[in-house]
């Protein structure tokens, strides 16, 4: 019986040694931000949204430009300091959804309060050559809930410094 116990103890020690010798994954990072996602990611490859504690995280300044009927032209943003005049500055976080932003735009733009109003959201940012690009990222309705409502800025590859252009249709 003692021989059997020694054998079992030896097997357990060998298993423990094997277990220790196997490489362990690194511990999960705590409170470390994820690297910024590529702007070229298709919507099917979106990363998991970063969790933000709004009580502890400083908000970012989001410059929002609204226009009735269509988006602004890219050329409207070409000269720094001469951006379109219909600007609203919002302090928010990267986890803000398009629905939250829709509600904020409705507060300042009466046209967006119409029952059948649609809001088309686009990011405006410089490309690697310094030319501005306008990329449409979502569409919401002023009164109805839509799938795009739940998309957060971070999920859409928003980067701090990008402009948000909102077409009220």
**What structural domains does the chain harbor?**
58-168 (3.10.20.550)
Kindly tell me if the per-residue pLDDT of 3 is higher than 70: no
Other CB atoms within 10 A of residue 101 CB: 23
Q: What is the pLDDT of residues 106-135, one digit of tens each?
A: 999 999 999 999 999 999 999 999 999 999
Residue-level pLDDT at 18: 47
What does 83-149 look like in DSSP terms, one character per residue?
Answer: --S-EEEEEE-TT-BHHHHHHHHHHH-GGGGSTT-EEEEEEEEE-TTS-EEEEEEEEEESSS--GGG
Whole-number pLDDT of residue 40: 52
pLDDT number for residue 19: 45
pLDDT higher than threshold 90 for residue 33:
no
The pLDDT score that the predictor gives to residue 51 is 80
């Amino acid at each position: 019986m003692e021989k059997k116990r020694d054998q079992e103890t030896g097997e357990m020690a060998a298993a423990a040694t094997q277990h220790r010798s196997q490489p362990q994954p690194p511990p999960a990072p705590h409170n470390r931000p994820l690297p910024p996602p590529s702007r070229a990611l298709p919507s099917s490859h979106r990363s998991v949204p970063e969790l933000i504690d709004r009580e502890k995280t400083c908000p970012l300044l989001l410059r929002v430009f609204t226009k009735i009927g269509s988006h602004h032209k890219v050329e409207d943003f070409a000269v720094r300091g001469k951006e379109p005049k219909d600007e609203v500055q919002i302090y928010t976080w990267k986890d803000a959804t398009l629905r939250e932003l829709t509600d904020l735009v409705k507060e300042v733009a009466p046209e967006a309060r119409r029952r059948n109003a649609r809001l088309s959201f686009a990011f405006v940012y410089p490309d690697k050559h310094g030319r501005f690009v306008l990329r449409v990222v979502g569409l919401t309705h002023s009164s109805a809930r839509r799938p795009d409502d739940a998309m957060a800025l971070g999920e859409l590859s928003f980067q701090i410094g990008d402009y948000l252009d909102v077409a009220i249709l």
